[in-house]
A and B are shown apart, each in its own frame.
Chain A
């Protein structure tokens, strides 16, 4: 009956933070290792140098990223990695919602310093989607709290399946998909990726992947 064990194998251990209570399974451990390696790789790498060739002009110029901008984006990338570790290990549904929305804000921060009106346009639209999607995300969590009386994933996993929870499942699905910029909402993300500074924008792909992976597990646990 316990979906955590069904999906992930055995639970290695719980980390007794005050009320966050993350749990570690072999699956989430693999995700954490991936995130840490990726974040360290991005944190020590330099931004790309992009060559721009103008049409009908015999001139090739190199676009560089200013040091201040690169520093801010690197900081946001590291922050995003920390948030993603929270997303994949947390054992509390509300903390999952919080970490997912913080991941969305930090993703926005990676693009906020780029001085390009196309990118900023797309980032603004993404920000609007973020703000709207906090309604279904937190709303779904609150409705689940009202129906079951608990937010702990460990307790929820032991509960029998209940069709009444499908409303909050659908709401959390819509919310997390919007915050993580997954399939129906990813059009703005594609525009944002036109920003220069290649290694940092890869964090956004990783965050989408991790939010998606974790979301499937949460969907099964809430069932």
Chain B
């Protein structure tokens, strides 16, 4: 049982992809060490909760380094669990602050948490052209994964590039298009079952629809709710 030997990896996989696996694991370990040292150094509880997402990112990296369909199926439950954890912990943080406020005799109604903006240097120094690379790669991938990659590209453009002048309504309408694309996805799936001889158009409708739906779901990516970016 040699790791990643020919008994485990089929012969059709090129050797270069197999050689990527140890590199991915080493990168994940480096990311985890960076994140965990950040948790040790950080004193603010809210910031600590945010920094914990970095080791979780390393977890996604280790799981996805396996690179099979099974790994893709395993990522989603892992994401759901970590999302549930962060929701539960943030609820506890809010209710703890409320309880402390009540103990001190203050009104629990006024909620103004003090938070400091994270000064991430990468948001200022990264090249906006990276977003185009992401979007093109996402379109080539298609499907759910491609949509997520393209959405990340749009997010990079919003954060890094100098986007100004778009109203809040514009971004809402862009996100609304994802609803229309979702309908295309559903119709594509229906055609698969109703008229299987038109499978090609059904495939294109479903694949393209889910790509556009996920890529433009900016609310899911955390963009909506602000009027303008980098004003």
Residue ranges of A at the interface with B (Cβ–Cβ < 8 Å): 94, 98, 101-102, 104-105, 108-109, 112-113, 115-117, 120-121, 123-124, 127-128, 130-132, 134-135, 138-139, 141-143, 145-149, 151, 159-160, 162, 164
Residue in chain B with minimal CB distance to A130: B85
CA of A98 to CA of B79, assembled, Å? 11
Please give the distance in Å from A197's CB to the nearest CB on chain B: 16
Please give the distance in Å from B203's CB to the nearest CB on chain A: 25
Q: Are B85 and A135 in contact (CB under 8 A)?
A: no
Please give the distance in Å from B73's CB to the nearest CB on chain A: 9
Which listed residue (A123, A141, A151, A160) contacts B92, Cβ 8 A?
A123
The number of residue pairs between A and B whose CB atoms lie closer than 8 Å in the complex comes to: 122
Known A98-B81, A101-B81, A105-B84; further 16 A-B contacts with Cβ < 8 A:
A105-B85, A112-B88, A127-B89, A128-B52, A130-B85, A131-B49, A131-B82, A132-B55, A134-B56, A135-B55, A135-B56, A139-B28, A142-B63, A142-B66, A147-B8, A148-B8
Q: Are B82 and A134 in contact (CB under 8 A)?
A: yes
Residue in chain A with minimal CB distance to B59: A135
Q: Mark B38-81, 1 if CB is under 8 A from A, else 0.
A: 01000001001100100110110011011000110010011001
A127-B89, A145-B70 known; A105+B45 contact, CB < 8 A: no
Residues of chain A contacted by B4 (CB below 8 angstroms) = 146-147
Which of B3, B36, B39, B93 has most A Cβ within 10 Å? Answer: B3
B155 at interface (Cβ–Cβ under 8 A)? no
Residues of chain B contacted by A138 (CB below 8 angstroms) = 59, 62-63, 74, 78
Residue contacts A-B, CB under 8 angstroms, 14 given: A101-B85, A102-B81, A120-B92, A127-B88, A128-B49, A131-B52, A134-B56, A135-B55, A145-B70, A145-B71, A146-B3, A146-B8, A148-B8, A151-B70
Residue ranges of B at the interface with A (Cβ–Cβ < 8 Å): 1-4, 7-8, 21, 25, 28, 32, 36, 39, 45, 48-49, 52, 55-56, 58-59, 62-63, 65-66, 70-71, 74, 77-78, 81-82, 84-86, 88-89, 91-93, 95-96, 99-100, 102-103
Q: Are B66 and A132 in contact (CB under 8 A)?
A: no
Residue in chain A with minimal CB distance to B10: A149
Q: Are A109 and B88 in contact (CB under 8 A)?
A: yes
Q: Are B1 and A142 in contact (CB under 8 A)?
A: no
Q: Are A116 and B89 in contact (CB under 8 A)?
A: no
Please give the distance in Å from A115's CB to the nearest CB on chain B: 5
A108-B88, A127-B85, A146-B65 known; A94+B74 contact, CB < 8 A: yes
CA of A159 to CA of B25, assembled, Å? 24
Which of B49, B84, B93 has most A Cβ within 10 Å? Answer: B84
Q: Are A148 and B74 in contact (CB under 8 A)?
A: no
Q: Are B48 and A128 in contact (CB under 8 A)?
A: yes
A124-B45, A142-B74, A145-B66 known; A131+B1 contact, CB < 8 A: no
